[in-house]
Amino acid sequence: MCKTISDNGVYLRGMRNTFHDKSWFMSIVPFDVDTIVDFGCADGSFLEYMKRNWPEYRYVGIDENEEFLAMTRERGFEAYGNLMEFSKKHSNGDGNVLLVMNSVLHEIYTYKGIPQAEEIWGAFLRNGVKYIALRDMYARGCGIFSSKTEANLLDVCEQKDKHAASNNGELISLHDKLSDFERQWGEVNDGYKLTHFLLKYFYSLNWERELVENYLPFHYRELHEAIRSARYDITFESFYAIPWLKQKWLNDFDCDTHPALHAFVSKVTTHMKLFLVCGE
- Point out which residues bind ligand SAM (CB under 6 A): 15, 22, 40, 42, 46, 62-65, 68, 102-104, 107-108
CA distances from 1 to 67, 108, 111, 113, 196 (A): 17, 11, 6, 10, 20
Q: Work out how close the CB of 268 gets to ligand SAM at its nearest, in angstroms, rounded to a whole number.
A: 21
User: Beta-carbon neighbour count of residue 108 at 10 Å?
Assistant: 21
Is the Cβ of residue 15 or residue 250 nearer to ligand SAM in the bound state?
Answer: 15
Q: Work out how close the CB of 154 gets to ligand SAM at its nearest, in angstroms, rounded to a whole number.
A: 30
Is the Cβ of residue 123 or residue 278 nearer to ligand SAM in the bound state?
Answer: 123
Q: Work out how close the CB of 163 gets to ligand SAM at its nearest, in angstroms, rounded to a whole number.
A: 30
Q: Work out how close the CB of 189 gets to ligand SAM at its nearest, in angstroms, rounded to a whole number.
A: 27
Is the Cβ of residue 111 or residue 192 nearer to ligand SAM in the bound state?
Answer: 111
Q: In what order do the strands lie in the sheet with 271-278?
A: 78-80, 58-62, 33-39, 96-102, 129-137, 271-278, 232-240
Is the Cβ of residue 104 or residue 156 nearer to ligand SAM in the bound state?
Answer: 104
Q: Work out how close the CB of 41 gets to ligand SAM at its nearest, in angstroms, rounded to a whole number.
A: 6
| 3-class DSSP assignment, residue 61 | strand
Q: Work out how close the CB of 190 gets to ligand SAM at its nearest, in angstroms, rounded to a whole number.
A: 25
Is the Cβ of residue 60 or residue 157 nearer to ligand SAM in the bound state?
Answer: 60
Which residue's CB comes closest to ligand SAM? 40
Is the Cβ of residue 63 or residue 161 nearer to ligand SAM in the bound state?
Answer: 63
- Full DSSP string of 81-124: SSHHHHHHH----SSEEEEEEES-HHHHHHHH-HHHHHHHHHHH
- Full DSSP string of 142-183: -TT---TTTTTHHHHHHHHHHHHHHTT--SS-HHHHHHHHHH
